[in-house]
Structure 1
Amino acid sequence: MKKSCLDFVSFFILFHFLGACQAQPFTPEPTKPPKREFRAVWVATVDNIDWPSQKNLTPDQQRQEFTDLLDFYKSLGMNALFVQVRAAGDAFYARSNEPWSEWLTGEQGRAPRPFYDPLDYMVKEAHQRGLEFHAWLNLNRLVHRSSTSVSSRNLSKTHPEWILSYDGAKLFNFGIPEVRQYITDMTVNVAKNYDIDGIHFDDYFYPYSVAGQVLQDDATFKKYGQGFKNKADWRRHNVDVLIRQIHDALAETKPRLKFGISPFGVWRNQRDDPRGSLTTGGLSSYDHLFADTRKWVEEGWIDYVAPQVYFSSGFKKVPFQNLVDWWAENRFDRHLYIGQAAYRAGYKDKDVTWQNKSEIPNQVRYLRKVEAEGSIFFSSRSLRANALGFVDSLKNDMYKYPALVPAMPWKDSIPPLNPQNLKGTLQNGGVELFWEAPAQAMDGDSAWYYVIYRFEEGEKPSAQDPRRIVGISHQKRHFTDRTAVAEKKYLYYVTAVDRLHNEGRPAGPLRILIVENRLHPF
């Protein structure tokens, strides 16, 4: 059960205890937008779904497209993105043993010309805009059905004994220990070599079943399946071992890196398991994809779970609310980000609920009601399309005010120290604030970014009201408030926030009154 922090008497005391309260996320009043909320989008690269828009763009064109996307997400109020950097036995980054992606350069194995490292570029540009960057890896696929180019360096050719063919794709055989070690090493390589905020896997473990096709892993089961009564339990064991192995390797390599998974939404239906959800869908991750996603959260092997709840509130077999309720009760003190189906907005099929322009905004409202930590939208192209205008509702209503990324106290619970020497001048068309960086906290952290609060005379300062945040300054120690007006008395505070989004005590108050184009203290 979540608890909100006490309503402390003073702003100073509130911030003094802010770090201790972060382990118990704040529950906002109904009329107040959330101070912390994860707002993210998936950027799919496979088959050029989202980025790059087509093969054979020049590096300059690719970079321009990507920064345009980032600017759009930032204007929308997002604070994180997930970019697919391994789509099918390939790489959208230079420091890899796998070949360059054909969806980047037109031919698998061909490097960008002129050369650049897309992942380095994307991470840097995202961070400059205050967006978390999560590297999204597809862990089961070596050749996609839409692949038109397969390099001689693709593992389907260099290690054919590791491969299963199914539904026109080449997939890893998770039952082979060397395969699991390769996937682990590949994941750790990305974590070591790039300044990413997280590692992310999607819902592809064992493949979605296709009528009339059989996954041919009998020989592997015979070799490695001793002690298991059936192949289903053995397959689940294989995936469990892989997830635990990756968790342990990442924790050793970069302890503060976030690790999360976005599984198919239904773990199990209650008709099949009393622990399951009040749903009656025909597919579940446990029974059909051999992914025991609930176990991974319960064991603490992942830092967040982002189930793909791509169902509407009106879908009878798997109602959105029922499934969200189940995950809210089965998050086991880890973060819950709901995968939302932006691509279905305006969808014209039997489920007419998707033709309701309020469906997705209402889903966001429901997530706040059950205190989910946020959501991730699939995918970027659908957000840009803005079907039924739902993106406008997000920008102008649900995401109107900024939100900090929720903290993860099991990774880092120590807030940074407060900024020093907060000062202000009247120039550049507004009140320009300056401050000095805080000293290092006991864990060695300083500031990753700064939050600037402004209150008018008579208002009670509060650390928990995002409507009083006038700016967030990323890696800079100054900010210009261009919305301040003359003859009003303002109080400014500035806080430091570290890489894991712990917020420290404030610098301030700086009391300012603008009279005759001059600043006066009061």
Structure 2
Amino acid sequence: MIKNLLVILALLITAPSISKSQNTEHPKREFRGVWVATVANIDWPSKPGLSADIQKTELLRILDQHQKNGVNSILFQIRPATDALYGKGRELWSRFLTGNQGQAPVPYYDPLDFAIVEAHKRGMELHAWFNPYRATFNLIDAHTSANHITKQKPEWFFTYGGKKLFNPGLPEVRQYIVSVIMDVVKNYDIDGVHFDDYFYPYPEPNQPLGDNKTFYKYGTAFKNIDGWRRNNVDTLIHVVSDSIHTAKKYVKFGISPFGIWRNKTQDPEGSESNGFDGYGKLYADARKWAQKGWIDYLNPQIYFPFGYQVAPYDKLVDWWSNNAFGKHVYIGQGVYRAMENRPGWSNRQQIPDQIRYLRKNRNVQGSVFFSSKSVTNNLAGVQDSLRTNFYRYPALQPAMSWLDAVNPNAPSALTAKPLAKGVELSWKEPLVASDGDKAYGYVIYRFNRGEKIDIEQAHHILKISFSSAETSYIDNTVSANRNYIYVVTALDRLKNESQYSNAASIAVQF
């Protein structure tokens, strides 16, 4: 996810087109994500080897801050280097968690289970972020346990750029990676599986990849090694997609590719850019994955400013939005660059302007920020902008009709009764929907007496709950001597929303 910017810039070699406008000031549905990176302890935990209680406290602080920021989706890195920040799988505990690879947290807890529960309490989705091919973060032997897969199956790996990496051309490697991911899909209540941009490694000068022998064995059907490498990645993506959606229809699969697929000078289908391309350098054909329907969302890392000739933000946003083939596009935004004093980034309004731009495009459904600490440290005032402006009101995650197009039934029997300093709402759980889904959660709306009941306006949302068991709510934000009307809707797991319940009116007097 983090790049060596000097290497990337060395590899880079130049009037906005906006879709039809829409009301984008406060969208009711928007993916508002943040990457919580654990590799090298970028975001969490603050350092390896902390007690379980301190780790939990730190993670709760992160989630609380992002709840205040209006974030509704956490992309939580659980496999930074063929290791695990979870307990119900086949890989060793991460040294970034406990200090020593293979050592469990003390006292024992499962960070992924904990993160899921706490995210859901806050109305946030939790997407499990995997690095599929990175096997070690460095070549320091003491950082790798004798039981690690690189030492158990050394023939599966090659060394490149100071790291050990899986050889994507080996069928047994693909089978192993799929099994690792499916451990998590089957054993945890995640909302999504997420890959970042690390497929084949970012090129190092004068360093060939060590996969020629594998190509000679498995690549006879391909004209060249580049096409074979792309097919290796394609095959993994396709199998992972089928496996996830067969096991749990509601688990989303998303990928965050490098910001340029191909340049128009390389391919007429490419973007108006002139830079490093994921297709040719990382063997990642992200456009194909969307076109084939293998992924549910694209999250391109467009960590570039407006007007940057090599990789202009606006041109790339437009390109990805036009090449999603009906799937979602969430723009990856490099908040960590927001304080750089270089063309484009020296304008501290760069990120806010980027949010305004993407919101004008009907084929873009949100943002993901890299990384958590860059937001919570309020670089260039980004956190302030989210809290006071862009994410001031809650938003539901965008629905995915290709995964589930059936809305739940509406709650019933909504009542409102006065309390000493508030209003207590209660309702009945809706009947099971036609596809067999029960309610997964609820959205509570409040209107002033005389206002039209319009649940498409985000500022009327009081609460988004991901708990079907919670069929009551106390509104303690009411004012004295006011008349209010409440309605409640039901959500299913994929955030399809029901019609609203009966309206409950109440006059508040205290």
TM-score with structure 1 setting the length: 0.91
2:214 matched to which residue of 1? 220
- Higher deviation after alignment, 383-392 or 464-473: 464-473
Distance in 2, Cα, partners of 1:375 & 1:423: 37
Q: CA deviation at 1:471?
A: 2.4
> Is the CA contact 2:121–2:465 (under 8 Å) kept in the aligned structure 1?
no
Q: CA deviation at 1:473?
A: 3.4
Q: CA deviation at 1:430?
A: 1.0
CA 1:188/1:326 → structure 2, altered by over 3 Å: closer, same or farther? same
- Letter in structure 1 aligned against 2:348: K
2:350 matched to which residue of 1? 359
1:105 matched to which residue of 2? 98
- Letter in structure 2 aligned against 1:215: L
Q: CA deviation at 1:419?
A: 1.0
Is 1:440 aligned with 2:440?
A: no
- Letter in structure 1 aligned against 2:180: M
Q: CA deviation at 1:49?
A: 0.7
Deviations 1:340-390 (A, max 9, x none): 001011112x32x21222211111111110121101100011111111212
Q: CA deviation at 1:31?
A: 6.7
Distance in 1, Cα, partners of 2:177 & 2:508: 60
1:409 matched to which residue of 2? 401
Structure 1 runs, 4 residues or longer, greater than 6 Å off: none
> Is the CA contact 2:416–2:505 (under 8 Å) kept in the aligned structure 1?
no
> Is the CA contact 1:142–1:154 (under 8 Å) kept in the aligned structure 2?
no
Matches within 5 A, 1:186-225: 186-225=180-219
> Is the CA contact 1:47–1:146 (under 8 Å) kept in the aligned structure 2?
no
Q: Secondary structure at the match of 2:414?
A: strand
Deviations 1:382-424 (A, max 9, x none): 1111112121011100000110000011111111111121111
CA 1:416/1:428 → structure 2, altered by over 3 Å: closer, same or farther? farther
Distance in 2, Cα, partners of 1:499 & 1:382: 30
Matches within 5 A, 1:390-405: 390-405=382-397
2:331 matched to which residue of 1? 338
Q: CA deviation at 1:445?
A: 1.9
Is 1:500 aligned with 2:500?
A: no
1:21 matched to which residue of 2? none
2:58 matched to which residue of 1? 65
- Letter in structure 1 aligned against 2:294: W
Is 1:472 aligned with 2:464?
A: yes
Q: Secondary structure at the match of 2:506?
A: strand
Matches within 5 A, 1:99-248: 99-145=92-138, 149-248=143-242
Distance in 2, Cα, partners of 1:478 & 1:406: 25
2:4 matched to which residue of 1? none
Distance in 1, Cα, partners of 2:152 & 2:420: 60
Q: CA deviation at 1:485?
A: 2.5
Distance in 2, Cα, partners of 1:345 & 1:418: 44
Q: Which of 25, 34, 45 is the equivalent residue of 1:52? A: 45
Q: CA deviation at 1:313?
A: 1.1
- Higher deviation after alignment, 310-319 or 100-109: 310-319
Q: CA deviation at 1:237?
A: 0.7
> Is the CA contact 2:442–2:464 (under 8 Å) kept in the aligned structure 1?
yes
> Is the CA contact 1:98–1:153 (under 8 Å) kept in the aligned structure 2?
no
Q: Which of 456, 477, 483 is the equivalent residue of 2:448? A: 456
Residue ranges of structure 1 left out of the alignment (5+ in a row): 1-26, 518-522
Q: CA deviation at 1:443?
A: 1.8
Q: Secondary structure at the match of 1:85?
A: strand
Is 1:313 aligned with 2:306?
A: yes
- Letter in structure 1 aligned against 2:372: S
2:271 matched to which residue of 1? 277
Distance in 2, Cα, partners of 1:429 & 1:458: 22
Q: Which of 412, 423, 426 is the equivalent residue of 1:420? A: 412
Q: Secondary structure at the match of 1:505?
A: coil
Residue ranges of structure 2 left out of the alignment (5+ in a row): 1-19
Matches within 5 A, 1:504-519: 504-515=498-509, 517=510
2:5 matched to which residue of 1? none
Q: Which of 23, 34, 59 is the equivalent residue of 1:41? A: 34
Q: CA deviation at 1:325?
A: 0.3
Distance in 1, Cα, partners of 2:178 & 2:464: 36
Distance in 2, Cα, partners of 1:326 & 1:465: 29
Q: CA deviation at 1:32?
A: 4.5
TM-score with structure 2 setting the length: 0.93
1:12 matched to which residue of 2? none
Deviations 1:81-108 (A, max 9, x none): 0111001111111112111100011011
Q: CA deviation at 1:318?
A: 0.8
> Is the CA contact 2:24–2:360 (under 8 Å) kept in the aligned structure 1?
no
2:13 matched to which residue of 1? none
Distance in 2, Cα, partners of 1:387 & 1:114: 35
> Is the CA contact 2:82–2:136 (under 8 Å) kept in the aligned structure 1?
yes
Q: Secondary structure at the match of 1:75?
A: helix
Q: CA deviation at 1:463?
A: 2.0
Distance in 2, Cα, partners of 1:133 & 1:45: 15
- Higher deviation after alignment, 135-144 or 244-253: 244-253
Deviations 1:200-257 (A, max 9, x none): 1110110000112111111001000112111001100111111111111112211221
> Is the CA contact 2:77–2:130 (under 8 Å) kept in the aligned structure 1?
yes
Q: CA deviation at 1:29?
A: 4.8
CA 1:474/1:185 → structure 2, altered by over 3 Å: closer, same or farther? closer
Q: CA deviation at 1:512?
A: 1.8
* RMSD between superposed Cα atoms in Å: 1.4
Q: Secondary structure at the match of 2:367?
A: strand
Q: Secondary structure at the match of 2:502?
A: strand
Distance in 1, Cα, partners of 2:439 & 2:282: 42
- Higher deviation after alignment, 331-340 or 145-154: 145-154
Count of matched residue pairs: 487
CA 1:428/1:87 → structure 2, altered by over 3 Å: closer, same or farther? farther
